Structures are given as structure tokens and as C-alpha cells.
Amino acid sequence: MKIGIIGTGYVGLVTGVCFAENGNEVICMDVDENKIERLKTGDPVIFEPQLEELLKKNIGENRITFTTSLKETVQTSDIIFLCLPTPPYEDGSVDISHVLDVSHKLAKYVNSYKVIVSKSTVPVGTCGAIRKIISKKTKYSFDVVSNPEFLKEGAAIADFMSPDRVVVGTRSKKAAKIMRDLYSSFMHLTERFILMDERSSELTKYASNAMLALRISYMNEIANLCEITGVDIHMVRKGIGSDPRIGSSFLFPGVGYGGSCFPKDVKGLLNTAAEFGYDFQTLKAIDEVNRRQKFIMVDKIKKHFRGRLKGKVITIWGLSYKPRTDDLREAPSLTIISELLKLGVKINAYDPAAMENFRKLYPDLRVKLFKTNYNALKNSDALVLVTEWTEFRKPDYVKLKKLMRTQVIFDGRNIYNPAEARKNGFKYYGIGR
């Protein structure tokens, strides 16, 4: 099939590369000229496991091309995926202007029947708005389909290649058949195609992300209660997760969720509820608990140093909002670092993938970046583990002890064994233990 991707970011690029890998002819478009030039050379621009190798392979086999031309993308494609940003406004409502602008612009290039698919996460009714815009500007027939994306950054290729489910929202039999055919090669063993109307599909994405965010915020509150009552969250988590009605995933407490999706989608759903006159209490709590949780480690640090933090050197391991990505959007590290800087702390930091993005976003030279995690620890008064990259999981305590001025670990993801850290002479602070 001939596929056009509009917006070649985390979702667009992964979608394009995976469709190309499955034998389709893909053209990816973006307004960012520099990004398109880099993509043409096989540089994926973002860090995502397996992406570079699949990108290079599919460029080499002429199945994927890159352009800044919207006209070329629309006219050479049968199915057009909108993978555009839908960021939050200050008040939490969703900015769908990129999606609507592109719909206005692409409509005049439609030259045959097209399926226009929203992969962007958009509020209920957006696909209807896209349809209205395009129908005013073209005489050709077309369908607008909602197909929310559920990939996880850090495992995006694997998720796309082997999806838990593909949700497609459309009432058009023709578009549904095309979408089913397109995705059939990703579902060899079991059918995981869920067809519904477009508004249900639009809401499914928000409901799904909000549910995951709910589990995290709930576990963070249970962890906070564990601390007050002298209970170990690690044991409680095991006890809860063994109930098949609950399941064991997404029960890990930490320093709060971040990323481009959970924070904005919780707020976006809250906004939809408000627009329809519904007071969504649990959503409000998820958001507030997460906001507070990002300060938990700073409070522990303040308490440990009895407020005397001026001039202290604190090392941060992990900047990205989660492992295996260079994405810093809404990362807890940003809140922790800016709070510590306000208290006069000097920051040393290391991240395996996100340092380049961090420097662009955070030019403040009071945060020093280092080439290795151990280099960052030299003369440090404390280590704060913020992102659980695998390379941080088994620290060499002897080396740590030699490098650090004082031996304190603030483990924001509970990846270290407290007893082992203590045995090695470290003061250990986790979350809920």
C-alpha cells in the first residue's frame, strides 16, 4: 500500500518505518527541514531501540522516503496518517491546531479517494472536525479514521510490530477493510483488531492512558502511606500484583510519571469531561498526586541535609522521563533539578541518551553533564537515581564510596536493595520503604 505520514516525530517515524518494514511504500513528511535532511541520511534524530537499523535498511531498499512537501505526500499516498503534536495549553485543554491546520492544507491536494487517519491523540469530536474541513475543499471521496497509537517509547518498534491491539474507529466499511488489510501483516497469530465508531476510539486512547496514570498515582500514595506506617511497599506491591484481577504491571512507585502522554492526556480527558459538564473526581486526584510526587525526593534531600544544601554537589543518574528514550518532556528530573538549584545545590548529571536534548532545553551551566555515570559522582554529596536505566541497576559500591564525598543514595525508582546499600556504608532513601 502507499502510505503517507504527516509529522515525522516519535510516533510518525516509528509508524513509517514499521509500515515500510512490512513491505509498504512510505513517504514521510515534516515541516522541520533539518529533521527531514537528517532522516534522508538514515539518522533517526531520536533515540529509540532498533529504529536506526530499520530506518537505514528501508531507505536502502527504497521503501521509505522523506520530504517537506505536503502536496507530494498527499498525492502519492492512498492512506495518510496524521502523526502531529497535540500539546496541552496552559489550562490543560488540548491544542489540536496542528491537526486542523494540516487538514485545511491537505484538502486541496486530494486527487483520488483517500483514507485520512488520525494517529495523534485527539479529543472526542476531532475526527468529525477534520472531516468537515476536508469535505468543504474537495470533490473527491475520502474517509477520516481514528487509529490511536499505543506504542511505548523505549519499546516503540516492538510494540508497533506486535501490537496488543489495533483500535480503529470508523463507520465506513471501505475504510475499515483497508485498515484491516494494512494491519493484517502485524497480526499473524491472533486477530487484535478492534473496530468501533470514531468517537469511542478517540476516547479509548485517553481512557487507557489515564488508567495507567491512575495506577501509578495510586501506588505512589500507597508508598507514601507505607513510609508513614513503617511498611515496605515492595512487599505490598507483590501482594497486590499477584491478584489476577489486578495484575503486576504498572505497580511501581517512584518520583512521578512524566513523558509526552500521561500528563497531557490526563489533563486533556479532564478538560473533555469539563466541557461536557462532568466533574471527574478521580482524574483530578491522579494529576494532583503526580504533581506532588515529583517533589518527594527533594523533600527527603532537604530533610537529610537539614536544609543546609547551599554548595552541596548532588549527582543525578537519569534525565529522560523513562529508560530507553531521549525524551525529556515532563520528566521528573526537570522538577527535581530546578528545585535543587533554587536551594543552591550544584548538579552533576549523567544520562545514556538524553544529555543532548537536556542541554538544548536546559542551557543552565550550573548543571554539569558527564560522559559516564561514575565520572558524575566525583566529590558528590549524594546520588539521586531518577531514571531506572539498566546500566544503573548494579552499582559498584566500592567505586561509589571512593568517588563520593558523603555516602547517601536517594533511589527514586526503588531499584537498589536497601540492605545491600546500607551494608556497603550508604545511607539509603527509597520510596515507600
> Which residue's CB is nearer to ligand NAD, number 98 or number 368?
98
Residues 249 to 268 in contact with ligand NAD, rule: CB under 6 A: 260-261
Cell numbers that stand for 320 in this block: 529522560
What number of CA atoms fall less than 13 Å from residue 177's CA on the CB side? 3
> Which residue's CB is nearer to ligand NAD, number 125 or number 241?
125
**Residue 151 within binding range of ligand NAD, rule CB under 6 A:** yes
Report how far residue 316's alpha carbon sits from residue 388's, in angstroms, rounded to the nearest whole number. 11
Q: 162-191 mask for ligand NAD (x: CB under 6 A)?
A: ------------------------------
**Residue 98 within binding range of ligand NAD, rule CB under 6 A:** yes
> Which residue's CB is nearer to ligand NAD, number 36 or number 355?
36
Given the residues 28, 83, 226, 261, select the one marked as catalytic. Answer: 261
Point out the residue whose Cβ comes nearest to ligand NAD: 9
- Which of 22, 67, 86, 348 is the binder for ligand NAD (CB under 6 A)? 86
> Which residue's CB is nearer to ligand NAD, number 154 or number 256?
154
**Residue 10 within binding range of ligand NAD, rule CB under 6 A:** yes
Nearest approach, Cβ of residue 92 and ligand NAD (Å): 14
**Catalytic site residue 261?**
yes
Residues 12 to 71 in contact with ligand NAD, rule: CB under 6 A: 12, 29-32, 35
**Residue 92 within binding range of ligand NAD, rule CB under 6 A:** no
- Which of 3, 5, 11, 178 is the binder for ligand NAD (CB under 6 A)? 11
**Residue 85 within binding range of ligand NAD, rule CB under 6 A:** yes
394: left (phi over 0), alpha (psi -120 to 50) or beta: beta
- Which of 120, 126, 146, 217 is the binder for ligand NAD (CB under 6 A)? 120
Report how far residue 112's alpha carbon sits from residue 109's, in angstroms, rounded to the nearest whole number. 9
**Residue 128 within binding range of ligand NAD, rule CB under 6 A:** no
> Which residue's CB is nearer to ligand NAD, number 114 or number 237?
114
- Which of 83, 157, 210, 384 is the binder for ligand NAD (CB under 6 A)? 83
- Which of 84, 213, 214, 226 is the binder for ligand NAD (CB under 6 A)? 84
Cell numbers that stand for 246 in this block: 489486578
What amino acid positions are annotated as catalytic residues? 261
Question: Which residues lie near ligand NAD (CB under 6 A)?
Answer: 6-12, 29-32, 35, 83-86, 98, 101-102, 119-121, 149, 151, 153, 260-261
